[in-house]
Amino acid sequence: MSNETNQEEPIKVVIMGLENAGKTTIVDVLTQKIRYDQLTPPDMYPTKNVERTTLIEKNTVVWDFGGQELYRNEYLTDPENYLRFTSFAYYVADVQDYYRLYSSTMYFMTVFPIIIRNSPDAKMIILFHKMDPTYDPSKKELKKKFLDQIESFIESHKTSIEIFDTTIFDIKSITTAFSRVL
């Protein structure tokens, strides 16, 4: 009989998307670096490579993937190292960045099958982020365009995806999107 203790592996959460989509700000909300009474995030700098943050007493580790093209290429050349054993995969799309909609859609369609291949049981979630109070909800055209572009792609992979609208100005929207993780 072995004396080894069987410690439970932490839950791995990956959060991906283009740079400036709001991924790190979302992580800051989850770790309470941004509080409910704050209206603006602290000074933010682009995430370099992958930053790992532990949540809930070391039971959950969030892998915040830098969205710059240099880092995206690195993840894609070694996906097994970065994406294996993922429990939850969040893709953050900036609903206010009209000029990068196509790039965001293409990146999603690139990483989605790679995540499925490396972690077939991962729960897939899309966050349409920056649904801020100043954002006109009647103009949800970017969200609709994104979903229209990926609809047949998602159906062909026979995987369900959860979708949430999030904003830093309604922290509950973020905590709701991560409620299964938390």
Residue 2 in any domain: the answer is no
Whole-number pLDDT of residue 63: 86
* Among 88, 115, 92, 111, CA closest to 23: 92
Taking only the tens place, the pLDDT of each residue in 84-124 is 999 999 999 999 888 899 999 999 999 999 999 999 999 99
Structure tokens at 144: 């609709």
Q: What is the domain range of residue 15?
A: 11-177
Q: Is 142 exposed, middle or buried (0-12, 13-18, 19+ CB in 10 A)?
A: buried
Q: 47 or 75: whose pLDDT is higher?
A: 75
CATH label of the domain that carries residue 31: 3.40.50.300
Determine how many CB atoms are found less than 10 A away from the CB of residue 146: 21
Q: Quick check: is 5 in a domain?
A: no
pLDDT of residue 67: 80
pLDDT at residue 46, rounded to an integer: 55
Give the total number of structural domains in the chain: 1
* Tokens coding 127: 């966050």
pLDDT tens column, 78-89: 899 889 999 999
- Ranges 30-39, 51-60, 69-78: which has the least confidence: 30-39
Identify the CA nearest to 15 among candidates 132, 102, 81, 108: 108
Query: Does 97 reside within a domain?
Result: yes
